[in-house]
Amino acid sequence: MFPVARAAQSLVARGIQHTAVRQAHHKHELTFHDKYGTMVLLGGAAMFSAVWGYALTQLKIAWGFSPVGRVTPSEWRE
């Protein structure tokens, strides 16, 4: 049984070596993340900042730990 296991191990090792050599000589193709990763990250950061900037400056939010006594109902518009 030992020679069969050794032969199988050498076949696996040879296959791994062939794969490594093939990948080493293969031209690296750019993936989506290589091409657009930074731009997607910056776009997301800009969108996040814009939405929170709007929320913090334009919305009528009463900031505080407890709204008790601070929140008053606004007048009804008809």
Q: Give whichever of 22-26, 43-47, 70-74 has the largest mean pLDDT.
A: 43-47
Whether 51 is covered by a domain: the verdict is: yes
Range of the domain at 49: 32-59
Q: Answer yes or no: pTM beyond 0.85.
A: no
Total number of domains in the chain: 1
Whether 4 is covered by a domain: the verdict is: no
Rg of the chain over CA atoms, in angstroms?
31
Q: Please report the pLDDT score of residue 49 as a whole number.
A: 97
1 pLDDT more than 60? no
Q: Which residue has the higher pLDDT, 29 or 7?
A: 29
- For the chain, the 3-state helix, strand and coil shares in percent, each to the nearest 5, are 65, 0, 35
Distances 41 to 44, 52, 59, 69, 70 between C-alpha atoms, Å: 5, 17, 26, 42, 39
The structure tokens listed for 71 are: 């929140």
Whether 25 is covered by a domain: the verdict is: no
Whether 38 is covered by a domain: the verdict is: yes
